[in-house]
Amino acid sequence: MDWQKKVVLVTGGTGSFGKKFIDILLKEYHPAKVIVFSRDELKQHEMRVSGFNQPNLRYFIGNVRDRDRLCRALKGVDIVVHTAALKQVPACEYNPMEAIKTNILGSSNVVDAALATGVEKVLSLSTDKAVNPVNLYGATKLAAEKLMVQSNAYAGGMKTRFSCVRYGNVVGSRGSVVPLFLKQRDSGKLTLTDERMTRFWISLEQGVRFVIRCVEQMQGGEVFVPKIPSMTMVDLAKVIAPEAELEVIGIRPGEKLHEVLISEDEARQTIELEDMYVVQPAAALWFGHEWEGRGKPLPEGFNYVSNTNSDWLNVEQINEIIAPIEEDYKQGKLV
């Protein structure tokens, strides 16, 4: 795919992922134009004055809840990377309709606007919390995934295609536990909800490069899942603050001990490749099944869970991941 001929729009473009995605895209792929679509004028201003002021970069104030505004923004756009979401679990639990309006209805608006304006590809970011969800955030992201995948049925003879990327916790992103632990370190005490807890981890740059690959390869209808390592929360806490006391405060509402990236039921229509899994659409008469000849099916009973993962980060690897985030924290770059 020739990115230099493409116009790319990023919903939620001022977020952690959006900024990193746009940075790498502009520096290495040189698209014809990149549009930042987000609702916060202050974040757009701060992004612009921090160096995101290239002549092929545009800023568009808008909310994914507003279908008409999305239709205006998507005119002439070739590729949409949909990252806009309410993602803080406690905030979604306390404000359920707000999460539904942004994460579900907002995704539906992206679909409608893309079909109405003839966008070629829409890739939506999802999360491990969408698999067997136990909180509202996960439930809204599951619904958003289903919307994206099944909306390929509406494309018919049109060129528009929809796919998803699903991965685990992004190290150091806004709201992640790493900045929290860094702040707590000064007090000499770190809070853990449960000592048994494990999570899938991926760096921001790894996530961005995976998304770029998936945009290039997507046929429509797939959910792409990268093979990524697991980490125990105890190990993470000990790397960040080896001398600190660990206080176990109990698991929070809507929180799991271990996360799932592929369920046993999904595994039946999933193809394994060297560095990722591709969940094909179930019982679809359209596209998304072109992957069967490129990989191998998964064995019966397979699931991809953070505590039974074969790939684990050791202390040295965690240190390597944390080092740049700690530097940003010292410089006041983490909020």
Active site residues: 129
User: Which tokens is 247 given?
Assistant: 């206080």
User: Which tokens is 139 given?
Assistant: 């439930």
User: Which tokens is 106 given?
Assistant: 């907002």
- Other Cβ atoms less than 10 A from the Cβ of 28: the count is 10
What is the C-alpha separation between 92 and 86, in angstroms, rounded? Answer: 7
CA neighbor of 148 nearest in space, from 106, 207, 206: 106
- Other Cβ atoms less than 10 A from the Cβ of 307: the count is 15
Bridge partners of residue 124, in order along the sequence:
82, 164
The string over 189-214, giving b where at least 16 C-beta atoms fall within 10 Å of a residue's C-beta and e elsewhere, is ebbbebeebbbbbbbbebbbbbbbeb
Cβ-based burial of 120 (10 A; exposed 0-12, middle 13-18, buried ≥19): middle
Q: Residue 277 in contact with residue 227, Cβ under 8 Å?
A: yes
Sequence-separated (6 or more) residues with CB below 8 Å from residue 37: 9, 10, 11, 12, 13, 60, 62, 64, 70, 73, 84
Looking at this protein, which amino acid is placed at residue 253?
P
* Total residue length of the chain: 335
Looking at this protein, which amino acid is placed at residue 249?
I
User: Which tokens is 309 given?
Assistant: 């993962």
Cβ-based burial of 293 (10 A; exposed 0-12, middle 13-18, buried ≥19): exposed
